[in-house]
Amino acid sequence: MAPLASGKTRPVRLADIAKAAGVSHGTASNVFARPEIVREEVRERVKAAAEAMGYGGPDPKGRLLRAGKVNAIGVATAEPLSYFFDDPFARVMMASISQACDATGAGISLVSAANSEQLAWNIQSALVDGFIVFCIDGGSKLVELARERKLPFVALDLDSDDDEAVAAIGVDNIAGAGLAARHLTELGHRRFAVLALPVADSGFGPTTQEQVEKAFYSGTRDRLRGYFAELSRVDIDVSRVPIYETVNDEESVWAGLDHIFAGAETPTAILAMSDRIALHALDWLRQHDITVPGDVSIVGFDGVPEGAVSKPPLTTIVQPIAEMGRLAVKAILENDGSPTSRQLLPVELVVRASSGPSST
Amino acid sequence: MAPLASGKTRPVRLADIAKAAGVSHGTASNVFARPEIVREEVRERVKAAAEAMGYGGPDPKGRLLRAGKVNAIGVATAEPLSYFFDDPFARVMMASISQACDATGAGISLVSAANSEQLAWNIQSALVDGFIVFCIDGGSKLVELARERKLPFVALDLDSDDDEAVAAIGVDNIAGAGLAARHLTELGHRRFAVLALPVADSGFGPTTQEQVEKAFYSGTRDRLRGYFAELSRVDIDVSRVPIYETVNDEESVWAGLDHIFAGAETPTAILAMSDRIALHALDWLRQHDITVPGDVSIVGFDGVPEGAVSKPPLTTIVQPIAEMGRLAVKAILENDGSPTSRQLLPVELVVRASSGPSST
DNA sequence: ACGTATTGTTGAATCGATCCAAAGCCACGT
DNA sequence: ACGTGGCTTTGGATCGATTCAACAATACGT
């Protein structure tokens, strides 16, 4: 309004330049959206006006509302945002999600927050066409939140017992864990220990089968079920297998190993519920001069690339991470109202050098 | 329209539930945006109506238009999207950007595309309040595109010679490179080779100082200038120092070393323009039984975390990556119209085990 | 000269919310 | 009976574009 309004940033709208160029806003819109249908002379005039007035092209905010489609998918997690760039599993998954997005021209919005109140708000107000939810932690709440948006969404790694109605892509944790355990029993191992993923939000420490059965996170529960089903099958008394709940970081894993190896009967085989746990364990073992796989064998879970180059390379259960990412994106983008139902992908045992015959 | 429209997804608007609850749309809006100002009874009625009609809360698309602010910043690069998750430098940078965003409650949109036409479109239509542009590659074009949006934006690692008017955060490449070279000359090295970052879009291969001076990427140019200024200072004939242009990946680095070590006069010191290059070089050297730092010393550039745990740990020039991320986010979010001008951050030489006294 | 394409342009309607000035309602004091 | 003030609620204006049916202008065939 005031003539000296040059300090204000860009109050210039499409309508303004339309007026300046002496055309209707409809025509002005066409100049940008479908230049070929407007006469060259007019087009030039409008473009010149735009240039002169410092107009940066149609504001997507306006277009968006009309079009209804954002053309971006949101990836949500309850972890801090930097999780996407720190965690190996997340990184591989994100790389494959982003490839799928690149291929279809969709954008990616990272959704997360420092506290759960803000998380809710961020999910409610994320400008996306759908969500991919990382259920690593606080899964149920996230799923609940995402569901409330009434947008297509798919949960990654949300497992069996949860609400049937939510679309989910996961792997067969029970079968995978079974594979890992069987591999070790076939190598002759009888004394096991389990390094578990989080069971509840309660930190880390020794835990029990009963606790895990009540676990908040079904992935943790299912993997334990898989392990124990297989161990029981070959008559190992699972009630004597120590289970240590970690929070998937170095500190808790090392504490777990301190605990496990403090016992009288030390294990010859360790079942780690994630590669990250297994890799931290490898460090601890090396530092304690326990050879792998000479003294102790260890099998991870996930199949992150770091496992292939660790010392020794990690025997693990590899998830088809890339495939999962692709499917998730596809599920969101092609969603036509009917929710894709839950999909369970197969996993594969990859034997590398961290497992060998039992020495006892 | 048709009574059997249940297949259609969510044509239910705030106005619909307002009508259903028998209140005005203004009141309905308040129920969600400022529940405390609407009488409890009415509030419950509206919420019930919303629930009954399957309303997922106010659509951010609408809110957005009104509010004008997206509350998200876009991070753009000309690399494929997965670059953000693959490249160590990008990852550290993104982690710090995302921390800064978490702290202020802003979201992050990743902007990229398979081809440059789509890139332009993606940048034009990204729903963001500003851009952080990774100028690793195709920098100028990206900056141009971003500038056209007339949104606040800051370029990362865009250097000296470029347009003065664009806000940029970078490090002092010349000084950093000088530090690296000086460290090696002080250790007695006289025979150098340079593994360069991309000079142009043309692939990899041996190159020359003249070529690099004309480099598309000022970071590459400035680092070489820094190296050579220092080498010249101690009377090393830089015209005889081989420069090999890589594309920052294993293949090109290995090809470069094949080339460099095929010559008659092999170097005792390698200046690598990135840690990623240096780490790949370390692998090559190990495979060729060339000891580091016994036979050859190598100094990287960037300061990525992998450098601290490589074998041997990498001597490098560390950039204040976290600080850069923080500053970039701050520049966007606090931008009040006046563009923050260019900022050059200091770098630091961190001596680890990949450099030692010259053996000759 | 007059209908008929062809091509370009207009202006109203729409997308889904938020904001705000004005009005309604109710109780209270005088 | 009437003014005052505190809550609520209302309805119109607005954000910035796109879309589309209708209209204007020009060229073409007969």
pLDDT, tens digit, 9 for 90 and up, residues B185-213:
999 999 999 999 988 877 899 999 999 99
Q: How many CB pairs under 8 A join A and B?
A: 153
Q: Is the pLDDT of residue A246 over 80?
A: yes
What CATH number matches the domain at A72-170+322-344, 3.90.440.10, 3.30.460.10, 3.40.50.2300, 3.40.50.300?
3.40.50.2300
Please state, in angstroms and rounded to a whole number, the distance separating the CA atoms of residues A205 and A196: 10
Q: Are residues B62 and A65, on separate chains, in Cβ contact within 8 Å?
A: yes
Suggest the residue from B12, B64, B144, B147 to mutate for an interface test with chain A (most A CBs closer than 10 A).
B64
Q: Is the pLDDT of residue B337 over 50?
A: no
Chain B interface includes A56 (CB < 8 A): yes
Q: What are the DSSP calls for B280-323, one per residue? A: HHHHHHHHTT--TTTT-EEE-SB--THHHHSSSPPBEEE--HHH
Is the C-beta of residue A19 closer than 7 Å to nucleic acid chain D? no
Confidence category of residue A347, pLDDT binned at 50, 70, 90: very high
pLDDT at B339: 54
A70 CA to C6 C1' distance (Å): 36
Nearest CA in chain B to A63: B125
Q: Is the pLDDT of residue B27 over 70?
A: yes
pLDDT at A28: 95
pLDDT at A193: 98
Confidence category of residue B5, pLDDT binned at 50, 70, 90: very low
Nearest CA in chain A to B55: A150
Quick one: B72-171+322-344 is in which CATH superfamily? Answer: Response regulator (3.40.50.2300)
pLDDT, tens digit, 9 for 90 and up, residues A130-156:
999 987 666 678 888 888 998 888 888
Give B-chain residues touching A7 at CB under 8 angstroms. 337
Q: Are residues B122 and A112, on separate chains, in Cβ contact within 8 Å?
A: no
Token pair 């504490």: residue: A255
Chain A interface includes B77 (CB < 8 A): no
Nearest CA-CA distance, residue A21 and chain B, Å: 20
Q: Are residues A61 and B70, on separate chains, in Cβ contact within 8 Å?
A: yes
Q: What is chain A's mean pLDDT, rounded?
A: 89
DSSP annotation of A135? -
pLDDT at A163: 60
CB distance A212 to A196 below 8 Å: yes
Q: Are residues A85 and B91, on separate chains, in Cβ contact within 8 Å?
A: yes
Sign of CA dihedral B306, B312, B316, B318: positive
Residue spans of the domains in chain A: they are 72-170+322-344, 173-320
pLDDT at A339: 54
Quote the pTM value: 0.84
pLDDT at B163: 61
Please state, in angstroms and rounded to a whole number, the distance separating the CA atoms of residues B269 and B358: 8
Nearest CA-CA distance, residue B85 and chain A, Å: 6
Is the C-beta of residue B359 closer than 7 Å to nucleic acid chain D? no
Is the C-beta of residue B66 closer than 7 Å to nucleic acid chain D? yes
Q: What is chain B's mean pLDDT, rounded?
A: 89
Please state, in angstroms and rounded to a whole number, the distance separating the CA atoms of residues A223 and A15: 60
B304-310 average pLDDT score: 92
pLDDT at B336: 55
Chain B interface includes A3 (CB < 8 A): no
Q: Is the CATH number of domain A173-320 3.40.50.2000?
A: no
Instruction: Indicate the residue of A82, A95, A107 with minimum beta-carbon distance to B82.
Output: A95
Q: Is the pLDDT of residue A158 over 50?
A: yes
Give A-chain residues touching B287 at CB under 8 angstroms. none
Q: What are the DSSP calls for A213-230, one per residue? A: HT-S-HHHHHHHHHHHHH
Residue B137 falls in which region: left (phi positive, over 0), alpha (psi -120 to 50) or beta: beta
pLDDT at A137: 63
Q: Is the pLDDT of residue B182 over 50?
A: yes
Span B12-53 CATH architecture: Orthogonal Bundle (1.10)
Q: Which nucleotide in the DNA or RNA is closest to residue B26, CA to C1'?
A: D10
pLDDT at A359: 79
Q: Which of A14-28, A132-146, B14-28, B238-252 has the lowest mean pLDDT?
A: A132-146
Q: Is the pLDDT of residue B161 over 60?
A: no
DSSP annotation of A359? -
Chain B interface includes A7 (CB < 8 A): yes
Confidence category of residue A342, pLDDT binned at 50, 70, 90: confident
Q: Provide the token pair at B200.
A: 């142009």
- How, if at all, do strands B343-345 and B297-299 pair? unpaired
Collapsing DSSP states into helix, strand and coil, what is residue A207? strand
Q: Is the pLDDT of residue B160 over 70?
A: no
Q: Are residues A127 and B60, on separate chains, in Cβ contact within 8 Å?
A: yes
Q: Is the pLDDT of residue A4 over 60?
A: no
Q: Which of A76-90, A253-267, B286-300 has the lowest mean pLDDT?
A: A76-90
Instruction: Indicate the residue of B61, B82, B150 with minimum beta-carbon distance to A56.
Output: B150
Confidence category of residue B158, pLDDT binned at 50, 70, 90: low
- The top-scoring range by mean pLDDT among A263-267, B3-7, B199-203 is A263-267
Token pair 């480099």: residue: B215
Q: Which residue has the higher pLDDT, A314 or A154?
A: A314
Protein side of the strand C interface (CB < 7 A): A 22-27, 30, 37-39, 41-42, 65-66, 68; B 11, 13-15, 25-26, 29, 32-33, 57-59, 61-63, 65-67
Chain A interface includes B52 (CB < 8 A): no
Q: Is the pLDDT of residue B353 over 70?
A: yes
Would you call the peptide bond into A312 cis, given omega within 30 degrees of 0 as the criterion?
A: yes
B278-307 average pLDDT score: 96
